[in-house]
């Protein structure tokens, strides 16, 4: 096994140049999933990925059509290879489900790009293009690791592998969510591998072992039946914005503590080991404050580190408050209604359903006089945590340590990757989140890039991980 693995690693090293050229060809396809005019390009990217999976020896390669609410979606790409020989002990090898996405964010604003977003360009050891790191480059690492292992194994892999690549990650991922829900049997696996996260710092091998969940809601406040003039009615008519402000001020105090009764009841503290590890991370709060946030002072619960606050504590944010008059100057309207878009991030062991129930009941209980409140759930995602004792996590740790020559650090993410929650809930499998992006890779922004050294280290890490899982 070790010999085959080393052969696969060597194969990857020998074919570096070709791998990058192939990635460039994929990056030239403007598969912007949100843009109807690019629907053909999105399908073209799916076909490109499918053709390569077929070429390297994967089986049952096919596009799976999706639809959301009756509207045709972008296809999933599926492939598998399920013939791994049992081990010496006679036990069947595990199945790894490799997930990625081939769609990309829009490239706008175009004039801020130094080189065109769909003409991949190498500069300073990076490849610049829309989708370079999110997620075409990282998804391509999976394909190239599988190619390397196939080449070393004479058309066999050390583990069973299924591949599922979606084309709607940047537009909500409804298609794959429905497929996982309805056809989970077609994705049966023991562990999922997702490469759509980043390293904590350059040269620092990083595994993400937790994600916050979320509930995204709207509170609609209705006062008068129509818009009223604040001169004639001010002092008698209810004002939906004032009512929403009063509600929001009662949702979170000035120390960042959420005031919904019972909201923290299920919150699990990070383990002492995790807290210790987070403290050891190379993190300069002053630098973070000045360059990333750009605020004079951070907010949030006192006495907790930034990592605890953004990874292991629930939060509440308001994203926008549509309604009324938002133009230049003055219009003296008391609007009939106003909306607040409010989301909460959740951490283990909170659940979206229970959190929303508590939130809705509390908001309704504090509705100001004269205003009807309607609380709506827009979408939800489960919080995730994977134990660092998990054998797959251990295999990934080991693989990255070998490649980087450094101990792998465990972090969590403050955001959500909904598919990881779907894998837990529907497939009952943990996910190894092994990402090779860097904090300055400009995801969703102009001049997105992927550090090419990390592309190659990623391929090698995945070769070693899959070999380790199959050992």
The footprint of a second copy on residues 179-238 (CB under 8 A) is 212, 214, 216, 223-226, 228-238
Q: Which of 23, 107, 316, 384 binds a second copy (CB under 8 A)?
A: 316
Only segment of 177-185, 189-197, 290-298, 429-437 that touches a second copy (CB under 8 A): 290-298
**Smallest separation (angstroms) from a second copy to the CB of 338:** 8
> Dihedrals φ, ψ of 207, to 5°?
-115, 135
Question: Of 51 and 201, which CB lies nearer to a second copy in the complex structure?
Answer: 201
Query: Checking DSSP bridges between strand 333-334 and strand 59-64, what pairing results, if any?
Result: unpaired
Distances (CA, A) of 268 to 180, 271, 307, 313, 348: 28, 9, 15, 9, 6
**Smallest separation (angstroms) from a second copy to the CB of 273:** 21
Q: Map residue 241 onto helix, strand or coil.
A: helix
Closest CA to 60 of 40, 76, 72, 42: 76
210 HSE (CA, 13 A, CB side): 26
109 near a second copy, rule: CB under 8 A: no
Question: Of 75 and 335, which CB lies nearer to a second copy in the complex structure?
Answer: 335
- DSSP of 92-123: PPPEEEEEEE--B----SGGG-SS-TTS-EEE
**Smallest separation (angstroms) from a second copy to the CB of 82:** 35
What binding mask, one character per residue, do residues 17-36 give for a second copy by CB under 8 A, x or -?
Answer: --------------------
Q: ∠251-252-255 over CA atoms, to 5°?
A: 165
What binding mask, one character per residue, do residues 239-278 give for a second copy by CB under 8 A, x or -?
Answer: x-xx-xxxxxxx-x-x-x----------------------
Q: Which of 33, 105, 206, 343 binds a second copy (CB under 8 A)?
A: 343
Only segment of 28-36, 107-115, 184-192, 289-297 that touches a second copy (CB under 8 A): 289-297
Q: Which of 44, 116, 184, 370 binds a second copy (CB under 8 A)?
A: 370
Only segment of 185-193, 270-278, 296-304, 457-465 that touches a second copy (CB under 8 A): 296-304
102-120 core/surface letters (b: 16 or more CB in 10 A; e: else): bbbbbbeeeeebeeebbeb
296 near a second copy, rule: CB under 8 A: yes
Question: Of 90 and 109, which CB lies nearer to a second copy in the complex structure?
Answer: 109
Distances (CA, A) of 332 to 230, 245, 326, 327, 329: 5, 18, 11, 12, 10
Element (H, E) at 53: helix 39-55
Q: Which of 340, 373, 375, 462 binds a second copy (CB under 8 A)?
A: 340
Q: Map the footprint of a second copy across residues 119-178, applying CB under 8 A.
A: 172
* Catalytic, out of 41, 52, 80, 103: 103
**Is the Cβ–Cβ distance between 431 and 126 less than 8 Å?**
no
Q: Which two tokens stand for residue 152?
A: 């070393």
322 near a second copy, rule: CB under 8 A: yes
Q: Which of 201, 298, 361, 453 binds a second copy (CB under 8 A)?
A: 298
Question: Of 188 and 341, which CB lies nearer to a second copy in the complex structure?
Answer: 341
- How many residues bind a second copy (CB under 8 A)? The answer is 80
Told to judge if 190 belongs to the known catalytic residues of this protein, a careful annotator would answer: no
d(CA 112, CA 108) in angstroms, rounded, equals 8
* Catalytic, out of 147, 169, 190, 382: 169
301 near a second copy, rule: CB under 8 A: yes
Question: Would you mind telling me the total number of residues written for the chain in this entry?
Answer: 471
Told to judge if 220 belongs to the known catalytic residues of this protein, a careful annotator would answer: no
d(CA 371, CA 375) in angstroms, rounded, equals 13
Q: Which of 105, 138, 315, 442 binds a second copy (CB under 8 A)?
A: 315
**Smallest separation (angstroms) from a second copy to the CB of 119:** 26
Only segment of 52-60, 120-128, 383-391, 414-422 that touches a second copy (CB under 8 A): 414-422
As a whole number of Å, the end-to-end CA separation of the chain is 7
d(CA 25, CA 102) in angstroms, rounded, equals 13
Positions annotated as catalytic residues are 103, 169
């Amino acid at each position: 096994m070790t010999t085959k693995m080393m052969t696969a690693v060597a194969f990857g090293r020998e074919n570096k140049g070709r791998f990058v050229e192939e990635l460039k060809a994929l990056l030239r396809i403007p598969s912007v999933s949100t843009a109807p005019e690019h629907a053909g390009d999105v399908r073209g990217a799916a076909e490109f990925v499918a053709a390569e999976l077929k070429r390297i020896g994967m089986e049952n390669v096919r596009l799976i059509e999706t639809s959301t609410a009756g509207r045709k979606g972008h296809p999933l790409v599926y492939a598998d290879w399920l013939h791994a020989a049992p081990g010496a002990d006679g036990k069947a090898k595990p199945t790894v489900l490799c997930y990625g996405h081939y769609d990309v964010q829009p490239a706008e604003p175009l004039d801020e790009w130094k080189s065109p977003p769909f003409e991949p360009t190498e500069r300073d050891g990076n490849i610049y293009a829309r989708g370079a790191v999110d997620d075409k480059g990282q998804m391509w690492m999976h394909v190239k690791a599988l190619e390397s292992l196939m080449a070393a194994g004479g058309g066999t892999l050390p583990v069973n592998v299924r591949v599922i690549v979606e084309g709607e990650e940047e537009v909500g991922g409804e298609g794959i969510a429905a497929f996982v829900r309805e056809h989970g049997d077609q994705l049966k696996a023991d562990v999922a591998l997702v490469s759509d996260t980043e390293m904590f710092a350059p040269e620092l091998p990083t595994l993400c072992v937790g994600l916050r969940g979320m509930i995204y809601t709207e509170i609609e406040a209705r006062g008068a039946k129509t818009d009223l003039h604040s001169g004639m009615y001010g002092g008698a008519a209810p004002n939906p914005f004032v009512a929403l402000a009063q509600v929001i001020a009662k949702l979170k105090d000035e120390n960042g503590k959420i005031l919904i009764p019972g909201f923290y009841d299920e919150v699990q503290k990070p383990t002492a080991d995790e807290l210790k590890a987070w403290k050891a991370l190379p993190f300069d709060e002053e630098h973070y404050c000045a360059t990333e946030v750009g605020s004079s002072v951070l907010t949030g619960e006192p006495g907790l580190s930034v990592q605890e606050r953004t990874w292991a504590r629930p939060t509440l944010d308001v994203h926008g408050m549509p309604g009324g008059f938002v133009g230049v100057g003055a219009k003296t309207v008391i609007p009939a209604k106003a909306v607040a878009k409010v989301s909460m991030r959740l951490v283990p062991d909170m659940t979206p359903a229970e959190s929303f129930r508590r939130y809705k009941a509390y908001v309704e209980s504090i509705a100001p006089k004269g205003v009807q409140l309607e609380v709506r759930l827009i979408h939800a995602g489960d919080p995730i945590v994977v134990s660092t004792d998990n054998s797959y996590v251990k295999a990934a740790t080991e693989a990255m340590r070998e490649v980087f020559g450094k101990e792998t650090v465990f972090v969590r993410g403050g955001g959500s990757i909904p598919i990881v929650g779907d894998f837990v809930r529907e497939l009952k499998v943990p996910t190894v989140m092994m990402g090779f992006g860097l904090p300055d890779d400009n995801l969703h922004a102009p001049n997105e890039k992927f550090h090419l050294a990390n592309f190659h280290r990623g391929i090698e890490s995945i070769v070693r991980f899959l070999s380790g899982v199959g050992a």
